[in-house]
Structure 1
Amino acid sequence: MLESLLIANRGEIACRIIRTARAIGIRTVAVYSDADANALHVRSADEAVHIGPSPARESYLMGDRIIAAAQQTGAQAIHPGYGFLSENAEFAQAVIDAGLIWVGPNPSSITAMGLKDAAKQLMQDAGVPTTPGYLGADQSPAHLAAQADAIGYPVLIKAVAGGGGKGMRKVDAAQDFADALASCQREAASSFGNDHVLLEKWVTNPRHIEVQIFGDSHGNVVHLFERDCSLQRRHQKVIEEAPAPGMTESTRAVICAAAVRAAKAVDYVGAGTIEFIADGSAGYIKPDRVWFMEMNTRLQVEHPVTEEITGVDLVEWQLRVASGEPLPKKQHELSINGHAIEARLYAEDPAKGFLPSIGTLEQFELDANVRIEKGVDQGATISPYYDPMIAKMISHGLDREEAREILAYALNGSVIWPVRTNAAFLINALDHPDFIAGTMDTGLIERAGDALIPPLMPSDEALSDAAHRYARQALAGFRLNAPPQQDIMLSVNGQPVPVYMPIHDYVDQHALAGPKDDPSSSWLTDSGQTWRIEPMRASSTGGAVASDGAILSPMPGRIIAVAVAAGDAVIKGQKLLTLEAMKMEHSLIAPFDGTVAELNAAEGGQVSEGVLLAKIAKAA
């Protein structure tokens, strides 16, 4: 068994790996950037090494610095986690060439499966069914557009080196293809250093089904059943579960056998995932309506749901296999126990188009009745440099409905302030009728639209509870001839809100029931959202509506595209600028027809939140 391990990652996955490594007696080494100097994973490891400035391309993507840190600290092996360099074959080979152990598949396997076009061809040769599409080398926009026309819309553009939802665009009509292609290629080049794409036919009622596989250096390969990751927003997984609802035993046998064949085709060693797309239009998954999409040659974000239903620690398996041991279990020793669901908790504001939310976590309390995988704790600062996922919450139940109810309850009881999160959005998704029925597909969130976006204010019940608390504090001044009702003015996140209350309710002892309301801290949580509540002491004003055409930066980030020039005529909804922050692209558009009266943005420039980037003058 290994004695020491460097984790070439950050956040919750670094903390997750450290926990298992420590449990089996392995010394751990963390690496960190400037932004992560006091991060949870740094404080959790036995030793930590600084590797560079805050941007990932200057720290966590600097393979030579990571290898040097391993050598400096005497680490025997490097675990890449997921993301960053986890599927970089050159880095894996460099680790091996440096005399270190790579906790992952052979570089040749990463190369074989790392490019989606080559992987699809390899799977076709291995007899694994694949979706129809275009895998060619001609990447000219005109040729790709012609291929999309031949496939038939809607089509999906995918970066061949992509992953994590990056470099993917669904295109519904030919006139939208050119813009979608350019955006996809730009994002792919930025995220993966490779702008080549492939095209796939968009499957009706698509379900995202993936199979966890594991191989060792002794020729053994097993599967650990399937997961359903169909609940996605912009191709980014939001909620995952295992096993997949609507999965028949015959279909499970077919896709799991195909996954094992795929792994054996590349002599796979370690943890990997074979991803399939299934046609869910029948309400269940048919064996002949499932196609290979891609293979992820690493541990997945959603691996905990597989651990929960199998009782297997996949990180421990990784470390044992990397040490040269055979797989701890054979296929017949693996079985499914109950149901597990995972929700990804993001620092983002659904009410503002899911823009990333940054700042200091003054309050960060997650419900302890579910499994928590977190990369931050109270007092941590959420920066704009990395993916906005701050934690994962995983429930396990005897059946799917029990797991769903447990997770929704846990999300509802979490207190996070002032950073905004998607917790309430996740609760709404879990409560959606299609999710409850297990008939969701990858388009559910897009179709549901604003129905999943949480309200801007607490419910009347929650506000009433808060008002009762402050009313009881004022009972000393209660008079028999007091008016029969009173409006209490509360400050809700600094905004004045009047709450009507009958006077007799002031002494009603049931008023504390309902949403969590902590009198000691003035935090009010309601359906997964947290507000700061206090009685009004002075008037306050809300933010002014930006009706003068000022285009402000919604967050810190980098300008990656400027689509207009000063003096240009623009129409409402036209894209003006593209801002990159937290590994995502955000388009800033014209609020109305007019002219670009002022432009203060240049491609490649870094901007702070609230900076005036452009100003649109209304058309006469």
Structure 2
Amino acid sequence: MAAQCEAVHPGYGFLSENPELAHACAEAGLIFIGPDADLLRLFGDKAAAKRHARLVGVPVLAEGDDVSGPVIVKAVAGGGGRGIRVVHDRLTLNAQLAAAGAEALAAFGSEEVLVERYVASARHIEVQLAGDAQGRVVTLGTRDCTLQRRHQKLIEIAPAQALDPGLSERIQDAAIRLLNGTGYVGLATAEFLVDRDFPSDHPDAFAFLEVNPRLQVEHTVTEEVTGLDLVALQLRLARGEPLPDAVPEPRGVAVQLRINAETIGNDGVPRASGGTISRLCAPGGPGIRIDGAAQSGFAANPRFDALIAKLIVHAADWEGALARARRAVAEYNIEGLATNLPLLAELLARPEVAELEIDTGWFDRNVASLVPSPALTHASADAESIVAPLSGVVVGIDVVVGDRVRAGMEVGTIEALKMQHAIVAPRSGVVRAIAARLGGVIEEGAVILSLDPADEEEVAVTLVENLDLDKIRTDLAEVHARHALGLDENRPEAMERRRRTNQRSARENLDDLFDPDSFIEYGALTIAAQRRRRSLDDLMRNTPADGMIGGVGTVNAGDHGEDAAKCLGLAYDYTVLAGTQGYNNHRKTDRLLGIAADLKLPIVFYTEGGGGRPGDVDSVGATGLDVPTFRSFAALSGTAPRIGITSGYAFAGNAVLFGSCDITIATRDAHIGVGGPAMIEGGGLGVYSPKQVGPVEVHWQSGAVDVLAEDEADATDLARRLLSFFQGRVSGGDAADQRLLRHIVPENRLRVFDMRKVIDGLFDKGSFVELRGGYAKGMITGLARLNGRAIGMIANDCRYLSGAVDAEGSDKAARFFQLCDAFGIPIVSLCDTPGFMVGPEAEKTAPIRRGARMFIVGSALSVPVFTVVIRKAYGLGAQAMAGGSLHAGPFTVAWPTGEFGGMGLEGAVRLGYRKELEAITDAKEREARYQQLVANSYERGKAVSVAQFLEIDAVIDPADTRKWLLRGLASTPARRSGRYIDTW
């Protein structure tokens, strides 16, 4: 205002898209030549602009999991080709995301990126737009900016040539929809990709890229074909004047060539060219226009973009414009400063360019044949000098005269095009003189410093002697400090809250789980995606690791060896935003699950937490329903064992991940629910406290919890023990005196006994871990060891329903079959069942389907089933216990107490001899006859009798059971199926 200005024109640099500048101008009463700040924010954010495009019905490129092939990573802010990476190999995606984010942060101040489908055969088409204060939006025609190098435009054409008229109209209509109704005033360019692999009338023939809410570098070609002065039009529109009633039709064809001060290496990568123009002779005449300020005496600054002039030609048609461009480039002479004029001449001479048979990746694919040869070189300096590897500004000299340097040592830094390049000593020596000036411009090949020769070994010894091995550099100190913020000892208030609930921290649990010094943490410096509403310091202190601690280490390496013991550990940190699942939290989980899939690692997952987190305002998206975490974790079923541990509260997404695990462990204080109190209340289902939702007793009885632990320490110990079963054999274990097995089953065949005494006596001492012990108690399932080898075990408990297999028991056994089969664990079945549970009440539990599961799963097993009939083996229940048939496994043996039949002996006698028994009127005589018939049936069905018909393979001494099983295991391979495992 002091300069009596009315308006500010920001040019076409990055300030032209800066909403803060537009807002400041408005606050100061100045007219900003461009749209208002809100529209700059909208279109300056590629993700937000893309959402807007979807809303107005403009086609966009698919993102994230919707993309199956190559993807392109783009900076959300900025442009000019920076922050862009094409990813063909998904294994490198995370590295490319990090690299693109770092480049974007340096260039635009924001590291946010998005991932889209990469269009390999694409044309880059632009539409020049204008909007006035009266709400009218018009198109001023198209431009073709397909000829690009490393995503930066080299040659622009207006209007776009060889573009189907119908497709051109659709693109321009889409461009207008982007601005209609927004109140946009000024010039804008809408950019689109045209997929050359689709016909022009295909719905995916084009897709929106971005809106540049400013004047473009290439606006000149639109001016030439429309006859408009676009800058003057900008000024009139900013003043509130309306657009002209009629928009000029394009006349002829215009081409713009960007002339850059650069040298080009044989790799096609441009490098800034320093130097001063000693002579300049520019072309002229009809149809020639040059926009630039270069003249003799002009010195290029390699710290900035290399554009020094724009050469624009105009002719009646494409052929004429191309011929005129070739002549103008040939006549353009710049001396004293290397430029890309030879490269432009080469491009214009190529038949692919003349015929417009190119796409956006054409230059980069053909770079070897495009780069003029020979490339610009510099005379070598003397052998004792260190020279500049490229032109730039000297921003660092790290040595002084007299210092000793060694070959490969960094001695300084050059900055060019906003990137810093190390100056590396090619040989050892002592610094004799320093020729470069700090802050000065230096050309490629110029001498930086000179060396006196020195003995290599002497220099090495001196450097080591002068090196302080304990010195912590500033950058390393920052890393240490940031890591320290997340350590338990530096978060006393959070740890005190855990102690009040008698719980451990997530880090304490993982430290206890993994072998000492084996755990490598991933993503420790992650923070919550809430930078828009919280300070960085606050987030680093209060959201360390974004509430998800994860990494890889070994568990039980002392028993199984390091390779077999590798394991992925994940733990939600309840002290960070109640262990909720945030944006970066999910990204880290997905990264680690990808590693587990690639390396086939087992997983131990501590899932305590409150589910989805609504406060992550930095994330891009609306609902988060596209997050891949749950599908990725589910897809690992059968790949390697997954053990879930929960204490405290686990609701919503955390509970679903817990329930997706192959084995679930919960502590006695756990409360687990698919929905937490907030979700229940929001659904209109009532108001409940967290302790009223899903207490562990409910899940123990329902079978959702496999193992009940006292506390987190006990749960972690159980996880280690369970994991060991899947890691291989251990050294032979001790067993009880096997003769004790002879005395467990009572001689009275109707007396119940404790099957767990058989289990404890038969398997290695202390090795048995029962699964789902609170559910279907008539069916016992668990893991144990025989002489150090892992086995799965199912058994009937005659103390419940006399050992009958009910619907719940069948579910339990069938699912356990799947667990063992997926990971190659042989199964031992200890049979003592009167058959399937029957009766009207039983039929209400769908036994015809649930009971059939044992047969369906059993028939598909890849692991052997060794059946030992302890006492009763009746009907379909006995067949199901043996995997579908007494001949399904490598062997079925029985103890002498074994008895067999199509149904229970007593019931068979009552049914088969009903009329005979009813005819006996004397009760005592009837009972005597009944007992005689039962005894006869038992004689036919006892183990030794059945063995005579080869329905079983042997009747054995109970004391020899362990020997039979060990020999069977030694002679029968157990193959793992790798099939997924039902959660139920």
Deviates more, 1:375-384 or 1:301-310: 375-384
Which residue in the other structure is 1:582 paired with? 417
Q: How big is the shift at 1:362?
A: 1.0
- Pair 1:373-2:373 in alignment: no
Distance 2:350 2:389 in 1: 33
Counterparts in 2 of 1:551 and 1:153: CA distance versus 1, 3 Å? farther
The amino acid across from 2:46 in the alignment is K
Contact 1:553 1:607 in 2 (8 A): no
Contact 1:553 1:608 in 2 (8 A): no
Which residue in the other structure is 1:76 paired with? 6
- Pair 1:112-2:112 in alignment: no
Q: Deviations over 1:371-415 (max 9, x none)?
A: 111132222221123211000001111111110110111011111
SS of residue paired to 1:210: strand
The amino acid across from 2:34 in the alignment is G
Which residue in the other structure is 2:250 paired with? 336
Residue number among 324, 337, 353 corresponding to 2:240 in the alignment = 324
Q: How big is the shift at 1:577?
A: 10
1:95-110 alignment, distance < 5 Å: 95-110=25-40
The amino acid across from 2:207 in the alignment is W
Q: How big is the shift at 1:154?
A: 2.4
1:60-459 alignment, distance < 5 Å: 71-134=1-64, 151-281=67-197, 288-330=204-246, 333-351=247-265, 353-369=269-285, 370-456=288-374
Which residue in the other structure is 1:9 paired with? none
Contact 1:77 1:103 in 2 (8 A): yes
Distance 2:302 2:183 in 1: 39
Q: Deviations over 1:225-273 (max 9, x none)?
A: 1111011111110001011122111011100000000011532110000
Counterparts in 2 of 1:569 and 1:371: CA distance versus 1, 3 Å? closer
Counterparts in 2 of 1:453 and 1:322: CA distance versus 1, 3 Å? same
| CA radius of gyration, larger in | 2
Q: How big is the shift at 1:334?
A: 2.8
The amino acid across from 1:445 in the alignment is F
Deviates more, 1:152-161 or 1:225-234: 152-161
The amino acid across from 2:143 in the alignment is R
Contact 1:307 1:314 in 2 (8 A): yes
Counterparts in 2 of 1:316 and 1:341: CA distance versus 1, 3 Å? same
Q: How big is the shift at 1:171?
A: 2.3
Counterparts in 2 of 1:261 and 1:282: CA distance versus 1, 3 Å? closer
SS of residue paired to 1:86: helix
Which residue in the other structure is 1:67 paired with? none
Counterparts in 2 of 1:557 and 1:432: CA distance versus 1, 3 Å? same
Distance 1:577 1:286 in 2: 55
1:415-564 alignment, distance < 5 Å: 415-456=333-374, 542-543=379-380, 552-557=388-393
Q: How big is the shift at 1:78?
A: 0.5
Distance 1:613 1:179 in 2: 38
Q: How big is the shift at 1:568?
A: 11
Contact 2:394 2:440 in 1 (8 A): yes
The amino acid across from 1:394 in the alignment is I
Would you say how many aligned residue pairs link Structure 1 and Structure 2? 435
Contact 2:303 2:415 in 1 (8 A): no
Counterparts in 2 of 1:177 and 1:577: CA distance versus 1, 3 Å? farther
Contact 2:124 2:194 in 1 (8 A): yes
Contact 1:246 1:284 in 2 (8 A): no
Task: Give identity over the alignment, percent.
Answer: 37
Unaligned runs of 5+ in 2: 399-404, 432-437, 457-984
Distance 1:158 1:235 in 2: 11
Q: How big is the shift at 1:328?
A: 2.5
Q: How big is the shift at 1:586?
A: 6.8
Counterparts in 2 of 1:542 and 1:188: CA distance versus 1, 3 Å? closer
Counterparts in 2 of 1:77 and 1:356: CA distance versus 1, 3 Å? same
SS of residue paired to 2:220: helix
Counterparts in 2 of 1:359 and 1:608: CA distance versus 1, 3 Å? closer
Distance 1:436 1:413 in 2: 20
Distance 1:424 1:397 in 2: 23
Distance 2:116 2:407 in 1: 36
The amino acid across from 1:310 in the alignment is T
Q: TM-score, normalised by structure 2?
A: 0.41
Distance 1:170 1:336 in 2: 35
Distance 1:283 1:340 in 2: 27
Contact 1:255 1:287 in 2 (8 A): no
Counterparts in 2 of 1:320 and 1:346: CA distance versus 1, 3 Å? same
Which residue in the other structure is 2:824 paired with? none
Q: How big is the shift at 1:133?
A: 1.4
SS of residue paired to 1:345: strand
Q: How big is the shift at 1:329?
A: 3.9
Q: Deviations over 1:520-546 (max 9, x none)?
A: xxxxxxxxxxxxxxxxxxxxx942698
Unaligned runs of 5+ in 1: 1-70, 135-146, 458-492, 496-540, 600-604
Which residue in the other structure is 2:746 paired with? none
Which residue in the other structure is 1:482 paired with? none
Compare the two structures and name the one with the higher strand fraction.
Answer: 1
Which residue in the other structure is 2:634 paired with? none
Q: Deviations over 1:44-74 (max 9, x none)?
A: xxxxxxxxxxxxxxxxxxxxxxxxxxx3321
Q: How big is the shift at 1:285?
A: 8.5
Q: Deviations over 1:273-324 (max 9, x none)?
A: 0110111236978664100010000000001111111111111110101111
Q: Which has the higher contact order (CA 8 A, sep 6+)?
A: 1
Q: How big is the shift at 1:444?
A: 1.2
SS of residue paired to 1:254: helix
Contact 1:250 1:287 in 2 (8 A): no
Distance 2:413 2:84 in 1: 17
Q: TM-score, normalised by structure 1?
A: 0.64
Contact 1:112 1:118 in 2 (8 A): yes
Q: Deviations over 1:327-382 (max 9, x none)?
A: 1243xx43121111100000001246421112211112211131111132222221
SS of residue paired to 1:391: strand
SS of residue paired to 2:78: strand
SS of residue paired to 1:162: coil
